[in-house]
């Protein structure tokens, strides 16, 4: 019987860092990892293999399920990956599953135990929920996100307060208080960069070991007595979804700035690059994780460079020559509960230039009110 560890938690909490640490430190042990990512290409899996690119090539011990969450059309893919791991010539010692952070964890665990022939070959050993200590209390206040967080906490045998070193005293205290109230039977630990000892992650026996596999998914023991575990029936539970904004119209800088300073209940993550109508030269990057919001200048559009300075690359040449404004475009990923994501996609599209505004052209766009560039200019002046 092969023990399975499920690692769950919100995006950015440090799940992948935890698993990467295990792979780095358990080099003498055969631990298989299955990564589930909301994105159509698994960035997490590429990171686990030390790659710099999104393209993923599965290895014997690292598998990927991309483009959706386990439990939303991906459960069969998960079972297939586990089955393929079990058929390896050299048996594995344990299997670690990293969920996308949007799947109902208890439902997933029960599904593993109810599926034959897996039920006779694997058992659920432990569920670990990773939270970002600094942002967790703010996410908990969001009524759209708290049901999902509560499911992850209630499912856990061990809750890891990660990024503990970056959190303040009150954030640490609030996070511990929320966790202990939501799941009084769970162990609570802290970590920096997801660094946990291997024996806290695999073959822990928290759910009773192989003999207790049937009870493991539905309760069993976590090493400190029995605890009833019930799949949540909260009608307010919303899984997370990922949507992508791809447009070849620039943003009105003033409208985008207003949006960036607004409230987005139900959103977890926003990341990507944007094109401001008032700046035909620079690529701007938006990076949002909970209450942490950043926008920065991260480079120059290829179309803004003299032809002699552009890399000799056919793909870049195709991008530059594909339209009136070359490679300039919007490419943003938005992750959150479904209604919130659709709402903010509509709001973002309203920040794009309208037809009459487009007709003004780059010369007219320069006259638009731009508080974003103004702040960058002020910061540069202060630094100088």
Asked if residue 254 and residue 122 are part of one domain, the reply reads: no
Asked if residue 204 and residue 288 are part of one domain, the reply reads: no
Tokens matching residue 202: 């695999």
As for how many domains the chain has, the answer is 2
Question: Which of 9, 327, 319, 376 lies closest to 163, judged by CA?
Answer: 9
Give me the DSSP letters along 285-336.
EEEEETTEEEEEEEEE-GGGS-GGGS---HHHHHHHTSSTTTT--EEEEEEE
Give me the DSSP letters along 337-354.
-HHHHHHHHHHHHHTBPP
Task: Say how far residue 286 (Cα) sits from the centre of its chain.
Answer: 15
Asked if residue 309 and residue 369 are part of one domain, the reply reads: yes
- What does pLDDT average to over the chain? 78
Give the pLDDT confidence of 196-229 residue by residue, as tens digits. 898 999 999 998 664 344 333 333 333 333 333 3
Whether 225 maps to a domain, the answer reads: no
Arithmetic mean of pLDDT, 253-277: 90
Poorest-pLDDT segment among 48-57, 152-161, 177-186, 258-267 = 48-57
Asked if residue 199 and residue 83 are part of one domain, the reply reads: yes
Res. 81: pLDDT tops 50: yes
Asked if residue 298 and residue 166 are part of one domain, the reply reads: no
Domain containing 147: what range?
2-216
CATH number of 48's domain: 3.40.50.300
Asked if residue 13 and residue 63 are part of one domain, the reply reads: yes
Asked if residue 269 and residue 144 are part of one domain, the reply reads: no
- This prediction has a pTM of 0.63
Arithmetic mean of pLDDT, 112-138: 84
237 C-beta neighbours (distance < 10 Å), count:
14
């Amino acid at each position: 019987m092969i023990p399975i560890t499920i690692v769950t938690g919100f995006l950015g909490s440090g799940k992948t860092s935890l698993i990467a640490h295990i792979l780095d430190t358990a080099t003498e042990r055969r631990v298989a990892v299955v990564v589930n990512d909301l994105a159509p290409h698994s960035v997490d899996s590429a990171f686990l293999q030390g790659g710099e690119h999104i393209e993923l090539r599965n290895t014997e011990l690292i598998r990927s399920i991309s483009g959706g969450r386990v439990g939303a059309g991906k459960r069969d893919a998960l079972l297939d990956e586990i089955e393929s791991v079990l058929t390896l010539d050299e048996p594995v010692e344990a299997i670690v599953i990293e969920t996308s952070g949007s799947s109902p964890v208890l439902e997933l665990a029960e599904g593993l135990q109810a599926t034959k022939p897996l039920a006779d070959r694997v058992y659920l050993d432990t569920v670990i929920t990773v939270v970002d200590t600094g942002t967790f209390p703010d996410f908990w206040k969001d009524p759209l996100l708290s049901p999902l967080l509560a499911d992850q906490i209630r499912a856990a045998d061990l809750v890891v307060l990660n990024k503990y070193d970056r959190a303040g005293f009150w954030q640490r205290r609030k996070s511990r208080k929320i966790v202990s109230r939501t799941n009084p039977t769970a162990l609570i630990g802290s970590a920096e960069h997801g660094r946990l000892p291997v024996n806290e992650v695999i073959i822990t026996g928290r759910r009773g070991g192989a003999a207790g596999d049937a009870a493991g998914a539905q309760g069993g023991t976590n090493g400190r007595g029995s605890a009833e575990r019930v799949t949540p029936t909260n009608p307010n539970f919303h899984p997370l979804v990922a949507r992508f904004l791809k447009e070849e119209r620039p943003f009105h800088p003033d409208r985008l700035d207003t949006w960036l300073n607004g409230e987005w209940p139900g959103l977890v993550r926003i990341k990507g690059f944007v094109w401001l109508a008032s700046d035909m030269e620079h690529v701007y990057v938006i990076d949002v994780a909970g209450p942490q919001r950043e926008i920065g200048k991260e480079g120059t559009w290829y179309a803004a460079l003299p032809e002699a300075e552009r890399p000799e690359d056919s793909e870049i040449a195709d991008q530059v020559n594909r339209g009136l404004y070359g490679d300039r475009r919007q490419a943003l990923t938005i992750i959150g509960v479904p209604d919130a994501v659709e709402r903010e996609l509509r709001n973002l599209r309203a920040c794009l230039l309208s037809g009459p505004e487009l007709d003004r052209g780059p010369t007219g766009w320069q006259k638009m009110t731009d508080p974003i560039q103004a702040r960058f200019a002020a910061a540069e002046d202060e630094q100088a």
